[in-house]
Amino acid sequence: MVVMVGADRIGSREQIDSAQSICNRRIANRLIISPSNLNYTNTEGLILSLNQNLEKLSNACGVTGRENTVRDLMVDMLKPYADEIQVDRMENVIAIKKGKHGAPKIMLAAHMDEVGLMVKTLTKDGFIQFSKMGGIDDRILPAQKVVVHTKATAYPGTIGSKPPHIQKEEERKKIISYDDLFIDIGAKDKEDAISLGVAVGDPITFDVKYLQLSKGVVMGKAFDNRAGCAVMIETMRLLKEANCTVCAVGTVQEEVGLRGAATAAFGIDPDLAIALDVTIAGDVPGVREFDTTVKMGKGPALTISDSGLITHPKILRWLLDTAQEEKIPIQLESGLLGSTDAARISITRQGVPSGTISIPTRYIHSPTSILSIQDLELSAKLAAAAIQKAATYF
């Protein structure tokens, strides 16, 4: 999910327009295989439980624009449930389950990228200065453990700043801006850091591992949006057969302007679409009911409207009817200052009726997030059941 942080709005109109420009320039053919020649048809893949899929995806490095490790996992995890898998020029993963001729073509979209950091410069003393990739609140950065992913290996480090003991009083009252922070990996100097293989453009992730907190509640890195990716894989597993053709897309660069969704939707040209993403769980201290009524453990959330999308009425009715018929508890949300891939997909070509199924998640866009596995299961169940009924609505 793209969100607003301070005065910076990630996924603004300017960024969305830029994504459309990329789309028009780069997509000449419907689906184009990447240079790595990934093109799978009914080959063996990786069959794991929903929980196991989420764990593997959460622990992987996939900072926006550097999603290759997650991409490879997604290919393996989707293989058993797809008739064909392709990877386009932007490196979106597209898993196709073929339906009957004349039935609707449905696009599922779950972005593979995570918010993170990227090496910007190396100081003469061997410290790493970084840029932010996606909407990250500067307040959560100091003292975080991180991992710098070089071409050959990965190095642990920590985000450092001027010690509070020598700060002036006015400095201690201010939020430290990210450009006043640095990463310490223990290098002696710039030459030592370079000899380790650290280079400008290397992705940096938070050093967090997936774990279970209590029964059915888990914590980990990058649940925005590896949770949506896991739900999409589970949805494809549940779809034993479907009249509709389903294109399950792991998109890239969502956190910096919904870019992968733009090109993938243009190439696929779906009849309708569902984005699978996370949303803010408001069941924590300090969050008002007015801000959000969505709670963790109470089922998936359906978006009525957000800053980039007003859900198409037919899509909303289709999902609401399905939830009622299948006795799936759902929550409704409206007015969030963020958006999902559905915003970009909905205005592709002549327009694509689109909606979003979201997993309530605490502390998104921070190093650690928390969610309920039951919410994941119900989200996949809702998406799969809706796809089975789609031909009667569209």
DSSP codes joined into one string, 167-229: --HHHHTSPPPGGG-EEE---SSHHHHHHTT--TT-EEEE----EEEETTEEEES-HHHHHHH
CB 249 within 8 Å of CB 96: no
Residues present in the chain in total: 394
| Tokens at 235, concatenated | 């949805």
Residue ranges of alpha helices (H) inside the chain are 13-26, 50-59, 68-78, 169-172, 190-195, 223-238, 259-268, 313-325, 341-346, 373-389
CB of 247 within 8 A of CB of 345? no
Give the 3-state secondary structure of residue 105: strand
What is the 3-state composition of the chain as percent helix, strand, coil, each rounded to the nearest 5? 30, 30, 40
CB 156 within 8 A of CB 207: yes
What is the per-residue pLDDT for 62?
96
Quick one: pLDDT at residue 36? 37
Is the overall model pTM greater than 0.85, yes or no? yes
Q: According to the model, what pLDDT value does residue 164 have?
A: 77
pLDDT beneath 70: ranges in the chain:
3-43
Q: Which of 55, 91, 114, 254 is catalytic?
A: 254
Give the residue carrying structure tokens 């003393």: 125
Q: Is 289 a catalytic residue?
A: no
Could you report the per-residue pLDDT of 311-359, keeping only the tens digit for each? 999 999 999 999 999 999 999 999 888 899 999 999 999 999 999 999 9
Residues 6+ apart with CB under 8 A from 231: 50, 110, 276, 357, 359, 376, 379, 380, 383
Does a cis peptide bond (omega within 30 degrees of 0) precede residue 51? no
pLDDT of residue 43: 53
Residue 35 half-sphere exposure toward CB, CA atoms < 13 A: 2
Q: Which domains does the chain have, with CATH numbers?
A: 2-114+222-392 (3.40.630.10), 117-206 (2.40.30.40)
Q: Is 207 left (phi over 0), alpha (psi -120 to 50) or beta?
A: beta
Identify the CA nearest to 155 among candidates 121, 125, 115, 195: 195
Query: 334: which strand partners?
Result: 305
Within 8 A by CB and 6+ apart from 367, the residues are: 140, 144, 206, 208, 221
Amino acid identity of 311? T
Q: Please state, in angstroms and rounded to a whole number, the distance separating the CA atoms of residues 184 and 178.
A: 14
- Comparing C-alpha atoms, which of 264, 240, 236, 239 is closest to residue 250? 264
